[in-house]
Amino acid sequence: MHKTNRRIVSPDGNWESTRLLLKDDQMGFSFHITTIYANATFQMHYQNHLESVSLHIRCGRSGDRR
């Protein structure tokens, strides 16, 4: 994916977020897909909104079906 104002990559490379819905979209909420990379250690603080999280953990190599 190319860099856009809807794709944010953390300066330290621990995570990236694709922002699908934002305030300007006028849906009343925002929706993001955030990828946190393995072994990342950091803190996040959401000052102005609540956060709902769906966690998906994948083990093994790409293509493995276990």
Q: Is the pTM of this model over 0.75?
A: no
**Ordered domains of the chain (ranges, CATH):** 1-66 (2.60.120.10)
Rounded distance, CA 39 to CA 21, Å? 28
pLDDT tens column, 22-45: 889 999 888 999 888 888 888 878
**Residue 36, beta-bridge partner list:** 15
- CA 21 and chain centroid, separation: 13
pLDDT at 66 over 70: no
H or E element at residue 21? strand 15-21
Per residue in 9-18, pLDDT (tens digit) is 999 888 899 9
Per the model's pLDDT, the better-predicted residue between 5 and 25 turns out to be 25
